[in-house]
Amino acid sequence: MRAPVLIFIWSKGKSAQWQGDDKVLKGGQLFYWCSWRIFAAVMTIIPLSEGAFTIDKSKVFVAFDKQADDLQQRATGSLLVEVQPFVVITSEDVILLDTGLGFQQDGDLQLHANLKRAGVDPGSVTKVLMSHLHKDHAGGISRRDPATGRRTLSLPNASYYIQRSEFEFAMQKGFPSYIPEELECIGLSPRVRWLEGDGVIDGYIKYEVTGAHCPFHQVFWIVDGGETAFFGADVAPQLQQMKSRFVAKYDVDGRLAMELRGKWWQQGHDLKWTFLFYHDINTPVFNP
């Protein structure tokens, strides 16, 4: 019976990442979980919804109550979107995909409150992958210490993966799409891993600069245990947009975005990707 003992010891090290997730660590499920992680590692994908919002040309995100508010009251041309980062737990890492609006909830960052509610300690996040730095994706990237007024990266133990050109573009372009004040501390942090163009992180996370939505927008594929999770961020933000061909006015190159969506939709079906839709109201995670 050496194997189960070894599995148990191995799992003890890993369990630090799972603080609070008693579903996994309690009782008889432990052995199942250990075997499962080794023999058929399966990714866990959790959407962290910050709510639904309407947005128009002013680029202000206005909270929208799906039950009470009347869709017809929205200004013409405004969009209804969810805002939802994702946490993806792989056999190697606890990965956060984008960081939400950065709103506060009872003195806590909403992103942190949502992580805790999902059973994930913010301190256990090992990697933050940023698609781009628009304010609805990068708001929670940093946090201001009320005592000192200083901003620091909000996930205390994570490495942040950011396209260098996107950061430079954001700082130069600024308001209303970007909020430089929230992003400034990125430039000073030793925990940022600056990406330049396309590549692969730790042998299993592929990133590709797409442009299309903004000039240095990037997308990610996480491949673990025979599964592929695809995060197309704002080039592939909603399920419905994958199914119809259209050019969006808010994209810097709407035609390219449309072509990429068509290509990914096809590939995703052929290769059985799991799609993660950051702005989808009803279907954050989709398996074709």
Between 24 and 55, name the residue whose CB sits nearer to Zn ion: 55
- How far apart, in whole angstroms, are the C-alpha atoms of residue 106 and residue 116? 14
Q: Is 182 an interacting residue with respect to Zn ion (CB under 5 A)? A: no
Of 234 and 280, CB closest to Zn ion: 234
d(CA 221, CA 18): 23
Asked if 50 touches Zn ion (CB under 5 A), the answer is: no
Give the strand order in the sheet containing 199-201: 199-201, 205-209, 218-224, 227-231, 274-276, 285-286
- Minimum Å gap between C-beta 182 and Zn ion is 15
The mark string for 232-261 relative to Zn ion (x by CB under 5 A, - otherwise) is --x---------------------------
User: Contacts with Zn ion: how many residues (CB under 5 A)?
Assistant: 2
Least distance to Zn ion, CB of residue 234, Å? 4
- Minimum CB distance to Zn ion, residue 7 (Å): 41
Q: Which residue type, as a one-letter code, is found at position 159?
A: S
Contact 131, 98 (CB under 8 A): yes
- 280 contributes a contact to Zn ion by CB under 5 A: no
Site membership for Zn ion, residue 82 (CB under 5 A): no
Q: Which is nearer to Zn ion, 99 or 142 (CB)?
A: 99
53 versus 273: smaller Cβ distance to Zn ion: 53
Residue for token pair 């052995």: 31
- How far apart CA 209 and CA 203 sit, in angstroms, is 18
166 touching Zn ion, by CB under 5 A = no
Long-range contacts of 22-30 (CB under 8 A, 24+ apart): 22/119, 23/119
Within 122-161, the residues that bind Zn ion by CB under 5 A are 136
User: Is cis: bond before 180, omega within 30 of 0?
Assistant: no
What is the smallest separation between the CB atom of 242 and Zn ion, expressed in angstroms?
A: 16
Applying CB under 5 A, which residues contact Zn ion? 136, 234
